[in-house]
Homo-oligomer: A and B are copies of this chain.
Amino acid sequence: VDAATQRARADTLRQLHHGAGALLLVNAWDVASALVVERAGFPAVATSSSAVASALGYPDGERIGAGEMLAAVGRIAPRLRVPLTADMEAGYERDTDGLATLVGRLIDAGAVGLNLEDGLDPGTGQLVPLAEAVERVRVVREAADAAGIPLVLNARTDVFLEMTHDRDTALDEAITRLGAYRDAGADCLFPIGARDPATIAVLVRELSFPINILAGPGAPSIRELETMGVARVSLGGGPQRAALATLARIGAELREAGTYQSLQGGLSHQELDDLVAASWRDGPTG
C-alpha cells in the first residue's frame, strides 16, 4: 500500500464516522476472517486485539506484545481494498517516545486507524491518570500527522469496564476523559461497556462527537443506536467467539452423534481459496 493510497484510506475511514448511518465494524482476527468481512460488503474492517491475541495463543491484555500484534496487522491490511483499523490496546509502549515509534510501525503495517485505550495503571489498580492518558492521545495524533498518514484515532476509556467507579461517578468520569481525548486529537470516542440507552444518549449529547459503541446480544439495535446519534458500532471479540462456538458444536456433534450437520452451510474450499487468492498478489514471505 503506497502512501497516497494509505492517506486516501485514512480519509475514507474518517468520513465513515460522519455518514448518514453508523460505521459498522465486524472485528476480524486473521486474514481469512478479514476477507470474509470485506466480502460481506463492509466499507472498513477492524481487528479485535483479544481475538488476534487468542488466535496466536495469548490471553487478553497486552500479553501478545507489539511485535506480534503489528505482524498480524501487517498480514491483514495489505490484503484489503478497504481501510483497516487496528485495536492496539493501551499502545504497548509505556514511554511516549516508544509510543510515537509504535505509530510509525503501525503505519508501516498498513493500518489507517487505531483504538487506544486508557486502561488500568498496574501500579495503582486505578485508571491511568487523565493527564497521562491525554498526553498519549496527543502523542499518537502528532506522530501520525508528522508521518503524513492521518490515522483515525478511536480513543477508548475503560471506566465502564474496569469498575473503578461507582455508577453515579462513572458517567461523569467517562465524559471528562472522553472530552479530554477529543480535545487532544481523537477522531472517535469509545466508552467500552456503555450499553444502556440512557447512558449512551447522555454521552452522545455531552460529547457532541462521534461515539463508538461495543454492541452484541442485549445491546440496542443498529437502528436504535443510529437514532441516538451513535457514529460507530463494533463487535469486539464477539465474532471470533461465535465462530469458535461453531467449532465447538462441530466437535460435540462429531463425538456424540457421529454426524456432520454443524458443518453444513460452510464456505466451500473453492470459495475461500478464491477469496484468499484474489487478495494474494505477492509471493510467500515466510
Q: CB distance A248 to B267 under 8 Å?
A: yes
When all copies of this chain in the complex are counted, the total is 2
Are B217 and A261 closer than 8 Å at their CB atoms? yes
A218-241 interface (Cβ within 8 A of B): 218-219, 221-223, 235, 237-241
Q: Which residues of B contact A239 (CB under 8 A)?
A: 246-247, 250, 263
B33 close to A241 (CB less than 8 A): no
The B-contacting residues of A in range 66-123, CB under 8 angstroms, are: 66-69, 71, 75-76, 79
> Which chain B residues lie closer than 8 Å to A221 at the CB level?
257-259
- Counting CB contacts under 8 A, is A47 at the interface? no
- What secondary structure prevails in chain A residues at the interface with B? helix
**Complex interface: chain B residues within 8 A of A41 (CB):** 251, 255
Q: A26 with B259: in contact, given A58-B280, A264-B217, A273-B50 (CB under 8 Å)?
A: no
Docked CA distance A280–B266 (Å): 31
Q: Does A149 contact B (CB under 8 A)?
A: no
A286-B222 in contact (CB<8A): no
Residues of A within 8 A of B (CB): 24, 26, 28, 30-33, 36-37, 39-42, 50, 53-60, 63-69, 71, 75-76, 79, 215-219, 221-223, 235, 237-248, 250-252, 254-255, 257-269, 271-273, 276-277, 279-280, 283-286
A-B contacts, 15 listed (Cβ < 8 Å): A24-B254, A30-B56, A57-B76, A58-B276, A63-B280, A66-B286, A69-B286, A216-B260, A221-B257, A222-B258, A223-B258, A238-B263, A241-B269, A242-B263, A248-B267
